[in-house]
Structure formats: C-alpha cells, structure tokens
Structure 1
Amino acid sequence: MSYAHLSVTLQYSPQFEVKYKRRNFATPKNYLDFLSNYMKFLENNRNSLDQMSGRLGGGLDKLVQAAVQVTEMSKELEEKKAIVDENAIKVRELIDIINEKTEAVTKRKEEASAAAEQIEKDSAIIEKEKADADEALQAALPALESAAKALEAGVDCDNPLEC
C-alpha cells in the first residue's frame, strides 16, 4: 500500500500535471482512506467467503443426511422387496391353482354338455317310444274292456280277443 501511495506521489502526479495541467496531491488522509477502503473490502470479502463456506457446509450436511436416508430407504426397500417377492410367489401359485381348477371345470362342463346332448337324444327316443306305447295302449284298451265285460258276464273264453 505504501508503494501505491508513493508511486502516486512520485510518478503519476507529475504525469497528471503535465498531461492535464492540474496538480494532484497524495496526502496522508488519502493514505488513511486507502487503508480504510482496503479494510472494508477485505471485511466484505471475508463475510462473503464465510457465507459461502456456511452454505457449502450446510449443503454437505444435507448430502450426508440424504446419504443416511438413502441407506435407510434401501434397507426398507429390500425388506419390502422380499415381501413383494413372497407375495408374487403366492400369487403365481394361486394362478396355477386357478388354472388347474379352470381346466377341471372346463372338462366337467364339456362332459355335462355331452351328457345334456345325450339326455336330449334319449328324451326324444323316450317320447317316441311313449307315443308308440300310448298308441298300443289305446289299441289294446277296447280288447281289455271287452275281456272285462266277458268276465262279468261269465263267458268262458280261451282267447279274450275273440270273445
């Protein structure tokens, strides 16, 4: 600082006087102002550096906290992943059981459909045979009535259809 003050007094003031035709003086008050300004500048820079250092320290603390939280979350994730894997295995087993039961139900449904078709066919045959039996019954009823009348009348007949 003293070099700057002396260089102004001895070197730059004479150049300034020659060039601008004005005199310039470097007084002790200028030197003290220079020192005061330098101290203010130094204090401002220190404060700025302290603030930045504090922010950097806070950021590092946050990073450490985040790392701890990530570690804890990783442990929780592993535990939950084990539970999810276990549940996935149970779900796969349940799906396999459901598929097996679905296949069995499908087979039974097919068997039931085949049985229903057979029953329909048998019902049609039975209806036809019933109709034939009803016809034969209707045809035999008059002969039965005549046989019953003959029995009542006391007729001895070897062949009830001829009586």
Structure 2
Amino acid sequence: MQRKAYATPKNYLDFIHTFIHLYKQKKEDLSKQAERLNAGIIRIDEASVLIQEMDKKLEIQRKELG
C-alpha cells in the first residue's frame, strides 16, 4: 500500500521560494561566466590587433634587410 503525499499551500510556497533561490543563483553564475567569456574575447581581439601590427613591422624589416 502506498502512502499518499499531500501538497499543502506551505509546501507549494516553500517550493516557489526554493525555485526562486536556485534561479537567482544560476542566473548569477551564468552572468559571471558570460563576463569571463566576454573578457576573454576582448583579450583575443586585442591580441589580434597586436599581431597585425607586428606583422606589418616584420614585413617592413624584411624589406629593409633583403
């Protein structure tokens, strides 16, 4: 024989509060991850610009040397 499970208004409110807490926590975690990824993308873009500048300087130096 199975035991019956009753869902009382308090159970429902506890569930809602727990859900909201987990939602906020997950949203904060995802926000932090997005910030880290955006910072990484910015660093990659900056490195790309530096590499392009260094390539131009290298071409100039190659022409001067030979």
Please confirm whether the aligned pair reaches a TM-score higher than 0.5, indicating the same fold: yes
Counterpart residue type for residue 25 of structure 2: N
Number of residue pairs matched by the alignment: 66
Is 1:29 paired with 2:14?
no
Is 1:68 paired with 2:46?
no
Distance 1:23 1:33 in 2: 19
Counterpart residue type for residue 43 of structure 1: K
* Higher relative contact order, structure no. (Cα contacts within 8 Å, ≥ 6 residues apart): 1
**Whose radius of gyration is greater, 1 or 2?**
1
Counterpart residue type for residue 44 of structure 2: L
Structure 2 segments unaligned to the other structure (5+ residues):
none
Segments of 4+ in structure 1 off by > 4 A? none
- TM-score, structure 2 as length reference: 0.84
| Partner of residue 54, structure 1 | 35
Counterpart residue type for residue 25 of structure 1: Y
Tell me the C-alpha RMSD between the 2 structures. 1.4
Task: Report the Cα offset of residue 83 of structure 1.
Answer: 2.1
Structure 1 segments unaligned to the other structure (5+ residues):
1-18, 86-163
Q: Aligned residues: percent identity?
A: 32
Task: Report the Cα offset of residue 25 of structure 1.
Answer: 2.1
- TM-score, structure 1 as length reference: 0.38
